[in-house]
Structure 1
Amino acid sequence: MRSRSTRWTAPALGVAAAGWVLSANQALAQPADQTTAAAEEEEEESGPEAGVKRPAGPDERSGHLLLQGRAGYSQPFGGMAAGQPVADTVSGGFAFGANLGIGLSRVTVLEASGSYTLLSAAAGCSDCSGRSLDLGLGFVYHVAQGIAVDPWISYGVGYRRTVFTWPDASAAGPTGTDHVFHGLDVARIALGADFYPAPILGVGVFAELDAGTYLSRPDEGSDPTAYGFFQFGVRLALDPLPRGTRPPAASAGTSPRIAAQATGSQGAARR
Structure 2
Amino acid sequence: MLKDMFSKKKKRYATIPSERAKIEVPEGLMTKCPSCRTIMYTKDLKKNLSVCRTCGHHHRMGAWERIEALIDEGTFQEIDADVIGGNPLAFPDYEKKLEADRKKTGLNEACVSGVGELNGHPVVLAVMDPQFRMASMGAAVGEKLTRAIEKAIELKHPLIIVAASGGARMQEGMISLMQMAKTSAALEKLDRTGGLFISVMTHPTTGGVSASFASLGDYNFAEPKALVGFAGRRIIEQTIREELPEDFQTAEFLLEHGQLDRVIPRLEMKDTLTTVLAIHQ
Normalised by the size of structure 1, how large is the TM-score? 0.20
- Structure with more helix by fraction: 2
Normalised by the size of structure 2, how large is the TM-score? 0.20
The one of the two structures with greater contact order (alpha-carbon pairs below 8 A, sep at least 6) is 1
Q: Which has the larger radius of gyration?
A: 1
